[in-house]
Every structure is written in C-alpha cells, then in structure tokens.
Structure 1
Amino acid sequence: MVMGSEYTKKIMGLILLIIGLGLAVWGYQLSDSVGSQITQAVTGSDTDKVMILYIAGAVSFVVGIYFYIKK
C-alpha cells in the first residue's frame, strides 16, 4: 500500500509540473496579445490575467517538484 502512495504522489507531481508549464506558456502567449501590449505600453506593466497565470504556473510547478521529489 505504501508503494501505491508514493506512485500516486509522483504522478500528481508530474501532472502539476505539466500544468505549471502550461499556465506559464499560456501567460507568455497572452502577454503577446494586442490588448496586453497596449496595456503594457500605457501602464508599463503586464495585465492582471497574465500575472495570475505566471504566478499560478510557478506555484503549480514548485508544488509539482515537491511532490515528485518527496519520498
């Protein structure tokens, strides 16, 4: 039963790693949109949605690494 628990954590970690990378890529693509570029030009910062995607991606990636490495 213990082996299944470790296997589940590794799978969950990999899923979170993939989700984190996906969110970061999605945020990067969204930051290249016309609306985001206009907001950046006017305010000098990224839109809230882009920042949320970057932060959520980073958190998901870090938690995924933790679950994948943890024994």
Structure 2
Amino acid sequence: MNRPISFVLVACGAVLIIYGVSASNSLGSDFSRMFTGSPTDRTIWLLLGGIVAVLVGAGGLLRGPKSS
C-alpha cells in the first residue's frame, strides 16, 4: 500500500470517528438509547468504519517499503 493512501485512510478514519462520536451525542441517538438501550445503527457504522480505516491506514504506514 502506498504511503499517501495510508495517510488518506488514517485521516478519513479520524473524520468518521469524529462524526460517529458527534452522532452518538445527538437527540436521535439519545431516543434510540432510551428505547433500545443502544445507539443508532448510523452511529455504530460510523465508529466501526472509522476504526477500521484508521487501523488499515496505520498498518500501511507501519509496514516498511517493499523489497524488490
């Protein structure tokens, strides 16, 4: 994986996590938590997608260059 792609994945993952945390504090998520005990599906997908993107991007950054 190229380093620029890894940087983009980490940045996009961080943005998704920020949106997920923001969505978890929303009124809709509060109502969902009140009735079902869990946040909305959108919140969960934003957080999971952000975490996966950050992990994949960080893995690409930590992995050394390919030896030819």
Please, what is the CA RMSD of the aligned residues?
1.1
Unaligned runs of 5+ in 1: 1-7
Identity percentage over the alignment?
A: 28
Q: In structure 2, list runs of 5 or more residues that go unmatched.
A: none
For residue 29 of structure 1, give the secondary structure of its aligned residue in structure 2: helix
Q: How many angstroms apart in 1 are the aligned matches of 2:59 and 2:29?
A: 32
Q: TM-score, normalised by structure 2?
A: 0.87
| AA in 1 matched with 2:13 | G
Deviation at 1:32, TM superposition (A): 1.0
* Runs (4+) off by over 6 Å: none
Residue in structure 1 matching 2:49, options 34, 46, 56: 56
Deviation at 1:61, TM superposition (A): 0.3
**What does residue 16 of structure 1 align with?**
9
